[in-house]
């Protein structure tokens, strides 16, 4: 049996403690791998270390997948932590920028025709 200080970083027990035994989000937020997260403030005193790490990382927008990779926790755990931070209004979640729609073929042909006439 290992000692408490010898927990593996990704042990199920550690992940259970980090999430408080929850497997789902505490707020009805749609967080997927490409959702961008931005911190609204600095970490608070007494905050859970993993949540404080998320806030420090997110001074610029980062996706949920990037946060997971940087702090070395599964996306499911990061989602639980982020939902708590959203509920506490410590971070903002926003959808990534949608790709621009491809212009109509006729418009492209008209532009090309106009350029050729120059």
3-state secondary structure the chain: CCCHHHCCCCCHHHHHHHHCCCCCCCCCCCCCCCCEEEECCCCCCCCCHHHHHHHHHCCCCEEHHHHHHHHCCCHHHHHHHHHHHHHCCCEEEECCCCCCCCCCHHHHHHHHHHHHCC
Reading the block at residue 12, the tokens are 């199920």
Residue 106's pLDDT band, with cuts at 50, 70 and 90, is confident
pLDDT digits (tens, 9 = 90+) for 49-87: 889 999 999 999 999 999 999 998 888 888 888 988 998
């Amino acid at each position: 049996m290992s000692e408490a200080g010898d927990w593996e970083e990704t042990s199920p027990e550690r992940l259970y403690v980090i999430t408080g035994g929850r497997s789902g989000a505490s707020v009805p937020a749609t967080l997927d791998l490409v959702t961008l997260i931005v911190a609204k403030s600095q970490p608070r005193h007494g905050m859970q270390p993993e949540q404080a790490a998320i806030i420090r990382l997110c001074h610029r927008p980062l996706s949920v997948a990037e946060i997971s990779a940087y702090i070395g926790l599964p996306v499911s755990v990061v989602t639980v932590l982020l939902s708590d931070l959203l509920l506490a209004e410590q971070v903002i979640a926003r959808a990534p920028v949608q790709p621009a729609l491809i212009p109509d073929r006729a418009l492209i042909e008209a532009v090309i025709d106009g350029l050729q006439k120059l």
